[in-house]
Amino acid sequence: MTTAFENPRLETGTLLLADISGYTTFLGLVTAVHPEMIGSAGPIPPAYPIMSSLLDVVVDRIAPTFRLSEIEGDAVFGYATDDQLKRDGEAALQAIRSAYGGFRGRIDEAMTYHQKHECDACSILPTLDLKFLLHHGPLVVQRIAGRERLLGPAVNLTHRLLKNSVSEETGRRGYLFTTDEAAEQLGLSQESGVRHKEDYADVGPVSGTVIALEAV
């Protein structure tokens, strides 16, 4: 039996990761206040379609500037190759701000639509927020199970940035943290936000700029 190995291709591009803050706590509370869901075929709480809708609006708004790679639980992972996004930082920022606005608007709509569904879980919907991470670097594009997957150090670092101290140091929960590599590639000014640095034991220091998205 002969095994066919598909050769990966190497690209350089900008990686975008949008992550919902408070997602795990919210769904944990949903489980606590809806015990009928455990081990039964009870009605599905409105929290589940709400969360799907929040991810949908983010995917819709980042396109076509960024191509969807994967939905990763509470996060949307996308990318744009250098050929697709040629130093156009304004297009990237517009897509991110549009996605953030759509996310906040969708929460407001859900609160209005489900106002009669009074439970502890739905009451904390407005506390959910959205953070974005941008990084730039080489990407290994590999087909796995018929789908294109992104691999490589730049991908790993982008996901590593999910664990950061931005909120603790700036007080922001809705923000964009763009690494210096992404800012340089996209032509974004460092003066557009607050300088920030993370220092990881496994990857070392990562410097970038935090741009606020939420209203003051």
- Give the model's pLDDT for residue 148: 84
| CA 209 – CA 207 distance, rounded (Å) | 7
Average pLDDT taken over every residue of the chain: 87
Alpha-carbon distances, residue 185 vs 88, 134, 171, 178 (angstroms): 9, 11, 27, 11
- Give the model's pLDDT for residue 206: 97
Q: What is the pLDDT of residues 57-110, one digit of tens each?
A: 999 999 999 999 999 989 999 999 999 888 889 999 999 999 999 999 999 888
- Give the model's pLDDT for residue 46: 72
| CA 160 – CA 190 distance, rounded (Å) | 22
Q: Answer whether 189's CB lies under 8 Å from 195's CB.
A: no
Tokens of 122: 């739905």
What's the structural domain count of the chain? 1
What is the extent of the structural domain holding 136?
9-212
Tokens of 146: 């018929």
Residues 105-132 have a mean pLDDT of 78
Nearest CA among 9, 8, 11 for reference residue 136: 11
- Give the model's pLDDT for residue 47: 73
Percent of the chain with pLDDT over 90: 59
Q: Is residue 193 part of a domain?
A: yes
- Give the model's pLDDT for residue 99: 97
**Which residue did the predictor score with more confidence, 51 or 26?**
51
Q: Is residue 4 part of a domain?
A: no
- Give the model's pLDDT for residue 190: 74
Q: Is residue 40 part of a domain?
A: yes
Q: Is residue 2 part of a domain?
A: no
> What percent of the residues of the chain are helix, what percent strand, and what percent coil, each to the nearest 5?
40, 30, 30
Sign of CA dihedral 27, 21, 122, 73: negative
User: What DSSP state is assigned to residue 85?
Assistant: S
* Longest alpha-carbon distance in the chain: 63
Tokens of 171: 């007080």
Q: Is residue 1 part of a domain?
A: no
Distance of CA 188 to the CA centre of its chain: 19
Q: What is the pLDDT of residues 154-194, one digit of tens each?
A: 999 999 999 999 999 999 999 999 999 999 999 998 777 99
Nearest CA among 82, 54, 39, 198 for reference residue 133: 198
| Owner of token pair 């900008």 | 14
CATH number at 120 reads 3.30.70.1230
- Give the model's pLDDT for residue 205: 96
Q: Answer whether 59's CB lies under 8 Å from 72's CB.
A: no
